[in-house]
Amino acid sequence: MAIREIVLEGDPRLRQKATRVRHVDDSLRALADDMWETMLDAPGVGLAAPQVGVSRRLIVIHVPAGYDHDDDPEINLRLANPKIVRSHGRQLGLEGCLSIPGWAGEVPRADAVTVKAVDMNDRAVRIKATGYAARVLQHEIDHLDGILFTDRIEDKSTLRPVTEEEYDEVAE
C-alpha cells in the first residue's frame, strides 16, 4: 500500500465524470488499498478515486462508531460503481473535503439513502445508511460526477475556515 497525493480544488481532474469499473480485479483492489491508506493518513472519513487523480468510480469510507448515536457501529466500505437508488428526508450538517483543506460548510443532503454498488469481490451489494453515514456516501458519490460539496451549499455564508480538529472530523 502507498499513500497517494490528494488532488486539490482547481485541478480539472476533480471536475471530470469518472469512468465505470468493468471488473473488480487486483489492480482495482490495490488502488482501493492505497486510497484507504491515504484516507486514514489524511485523516478523513471518505475518499473518492478522482481525489487521487484516478478517473474510476471507486470510493472508500471509514466512519467511526457512534457517529450519530452512541450505538452506531463503525462503517468501513470499499465500493465500485456506487449509485444512489433511493433517498428520502433532508438533513443539514457540516461538511468538509480533503480536496479543500481547512474549510467546511453547511450542506443539505438526503437523510437516508440506499446505495447499489459492487464490492471488492466483484459482487453486487446494497447499502442502507442514515444521518452522517448517508452524508458521507452522498459526498463521495458526488466526487465521481465531478461535484464538490461547495456546489451543494445553499447558504454560502456558512462556508468558513475551521480548526484542524473540526476539519479532521468532517473531511471526506
Q: CB within 8 A of 31, min separation 6: which ones?
A: 49, 54, 56, 58
Of 68, 72, 78, 13, nearest to 39 (Cα)? 78
Distance between the two ends of the chain, CA-based, in angstroms? 20
Q: Which is nearer to Zn ion, 95 or 127 (CB)?
A: 95
Q: Which is nearer to Zn ion, 50 or 131 (CB)?
A: 50
Q: Is 60 in the site for Zn ion (CB under 5 A)?
A: no
Please choose, out of 31-39, 91-99, 106-114, 121-129, the segment that lies near Zn ion by the rule CB under 5 A: 91-99
- 169 catalytic? Reply is no
Q: Is 97 in the site for Zn ion (CB under 5 A)?
A: yes
Please choose, out of 24-32, 52-60, 66-74, 95-103, the segment that lies near Zn ion by the rule CB under 5 A: 95-103
Please choose, out of 19-27, 55-63, 77-85, 90-98, the segment that lies near Zn ion by the rule CB under 5 A: 90-98
Of 128, 26, 39, 131, nearest to 82 (Cα)? 128
Q: Which is nearer to Zn ion, 24 or 143 (CB)?
A: 143
74 secondary structure, DSSP code: P
**Which strands make up the sheet holding 58-63, listed edge to edge?**
46-48, 58-63, 75-88, 112-118, 124-130
Q: What's the min distance (Å) between Cβ of 172 and Zn ion?
A: 5
- Footprint of Zn ion (CB under 5 A): 97, 172
Active site residues: 140
